[in-house]
A and B are shown apart, each in its own frame.
Chain A
């Protein structure tokens, strides 16, 4: 079983939850920009949460499934269609052999995740299947997907087979079938407010910069990619210039170079940075920023570390509930 890339579109890569454990050697973590959507995409088809999926960016990607396959699409609504019919997001979908799935444009958000039951049968590089394009490691041959690529699929488990069988019987005349339920996560995709903790060097910024950071809107510039988003808006100055030794940076760290325009570090961020850090995006809101695209405007809302931890725990609880609910669905299929 395999998936064939008919058209790669703007950018399509294989991503999982990232390459952890090697940052001390300077190895970039990478992984899905919107890890929440990746995890849910996998859960919906019966995979482990951290299985690799295809991250589709904005538009133009077309995939063909060479066998009957159970898939799910989560994340941004990039208008996925099969034979001209819109395909629903956030639920398991059965696709018939030789069906072509195309992403025809950005309706909401920026990145969609296509998970397949059984995952992709590609080698792990340093414990991860994530593609790190700049380093040419991981994923499918260490690069973005290209026309004609044939990505082999892994073995489906019993849960996947069960849903597949049930959906297959619902096909009727169409080449895909789905269920009448979904996970309610679209609300995270279309937001413009991101919750942020004060960064380590927050107090070193001028008073007006501190104020503007939480009050003004910043626009995501076209010089943005999986490594980070460059923002434009108010120029954020320091009280007085100072030198900083490079330190570890994290997903969602907001640093400000001397030109005063903030940079949000994301999935493919470098491991260390030497610019003053004005903020750190709360883990629960990383999917929100990951779904924004160049031209979108973002506003930062201050929260405390305690609040950020609460949001994180609530999110994890929610995902756990979904896993349980899906298990119950499995039984109801029996």
Chain B
């Protein structure tokens, strides 16, 4: 049988490697590890330009222009409460939505957990998920953007 320490070592090695998905089968046991490419995306974006993505730092004029432009194409789904962000409705299940998925108004896109209650967050418009702004298990604030959404025209 595989020991917990072996498994931990395995996770560490995969974590440091460039491998994104890793499946391992041994004596009827199956382990699947999957890294989140979304997080890398986010890091890159932050490096490119803080001023554009963070309206608080830019001056009001450009901010307004940028915002107007953004709103016409992109919507943001924000967190309704303080809590822990999850992309899955239950442990071990598929993600509720992936980048590139089209969602309908009212569709549940993620979960925010507060005090052991899982609160469903719904899309408020029809559209396509273009970016996931928060990682699974991260703590989110009230009003914090969770997804970028391209509104369906």
Q: A215-B1, A325-B115 are in contact. Are A186 and B120 (CB under 8 A)?
A: no
- In the complex, A318 Cα to B91 Cα: how many Å? 16
Interface size on A, as a range, is: 10 to 19
A224 to B45, CA, bound (A): 57
Dominant secondary structure of chain A at its interface with chain B: helix
Question: B49 on the interface (CB 8 Å rule)?
Answer: no
Residues of B within 8 A of A217 (CB): 28
A181 near B117: Cβ-Cβ < 8 Å: yes
Q: Flag if B118 contacts A187 (CB, 8 Å).
A: no
Across the interface, which residues of A come within 8 angstroms of B114, CB to CB?
A: 325
Of A184, A322, A328, chain B has the most CB atoms within 10 Å of the CB of: A184
Cβ–Cβ contact B1 & A183, under 8 A: no
A329 partner residues in chain B, CB cutoff 8 A: 117
Please state if B90 and A321 are interface contacts (CB–CB under 8 Å): no
Residue in chain A with minimal CB distance to B112: A181
Kindly state the separation between the CA atoms of A328 and B108 in the bound complex, as whole angstroms: 23
Docked CA distance A328–B116 (Å):
12
Q: Mark A188-211, 1 if CB is under 8 A from B, else 0.
A: 001000000000000000000000
The contact of B116 among A186, A215, A322, by CB within 8 Å, is A322
Q: Which of A182, A187, A190, A324 contacts B115 (CB 8 A)?
A: A324
Instruction: Please report which residues of chain B, range 1-59, place their CB below 8 angstroms from some CB of chain A when the two chains form the complex.
Output: 1, 28
Asked if A172 is at the interface (CB within 8 A of a chain B CB), the reply is no
Are A184 and B113 in contact (CB-based, < 8 A)? yes
Which residues of chain A come closer than 8 Å to B116, judged between CB atoms? Answer: 183-184, 318, 321-322, 325
Please tell me if A334 contacts chain B, counting CB pairs below 8 Å.
no
Instruction: Tell me the smallest distance from the CB of B134 to a CB of chain A, in Å.
Output: 18
A187-B92 contact in complex given A180-B122, A215-B1, C-beta closer than 8 Å:
yes
Residues of B within 8 A of A326 (CB): 117
Q: Which of A223-247 contact B (CB under 8 A)?
A: none
Asked if B119 lies at the interface with its beta carbon under 8 angstroms from chain A, I say yes
Contact residues in B for A182 (Cβ distance below 8 Å): 117-118, 120
Asked if residues B115 and A322 are in contact (CB atoms below 8 Å), the reply is yes
Chain A residue at minimum C-beta to C-beta distance from B108: A180
Q: Establish whether residues B115 and A186, one from each chain, have CB atoms under 8 Å apart when the complex forms.
A: no
For chain A, residues 256 to 293, give those with C-beta under 8 angstroms from any C-beta of chain B: none
List the A side residues contacting B28 at CB < 8 Å. 217
CA distance A329 to B118 in the complex (A): 12
Instruction: Encode contact with A along B111-142: 1 for CB under 8 Å, 0 otherwise.
Output: 00111111110100000000000000000000
Q: Shortest beta-carbon distance, A321 to chain B, in Å?
A: 5
Q: Which residue of B lies closest to A328 (CB)?
A: B115
Task: Report the bound CA distance from A326 to B118 in whole Å.
Answer: 12
Chain B positions within 8 Å of A181 at CB level: 117-120
A193 to chain B, nearest CB (A): 10
A129 vs B55: C-alpha distance in the bound complex, in angstroms?
Answer: 61
Contact A186 B90 (CB under 8 A): yes
Closest to B121 in A: A180
Residue of A nearest to B27 (CB): A215
Identify A184's interface contact among B108, B118, B122, CB under 8 A. Answer: B118
Q: Closest CB-CB distance, B66 to chain A, in whole Å?
A: 32
A182 and B91 alpha carbons, distance in the complex (Å):
14
CA distance A215 to B92 in the complex (A): 24
The distance in angstroms between the C-alpha atoms of A215 and B29, with both chains bound, is: 12
* CB of A300, distance to nearest CB on chain B (Å): 13
**In the complex the two chains form, what is the Cα distance from A181 to B114 in whole Å?**
10
Q: Which residue of the partner chain A has the closest CB to B120? A: A180
- B119 cross-chain contacts in A, Cβ below 8 A: 180-181
Question: Which residues on B sit within 8 Å (CB–CB) of A325?
Answer: 114-117
12 A–B contact pairs at CB < 8 A?
A180-B119, A181-B117, A181-B118, A182-B120, A183-B116, A183-B117, A187-B91, A322-B117, A325-B116, A325-B117, A328-B115, A329-B117
Shortest beta-carbon contacts, A-B, top 3? A325-B115, A181-B119, A187-B91
Q: A-contacting residues of B (Cβ < 8 Å)?
A: 1, 28, 90-92, 108, 113-120, 122
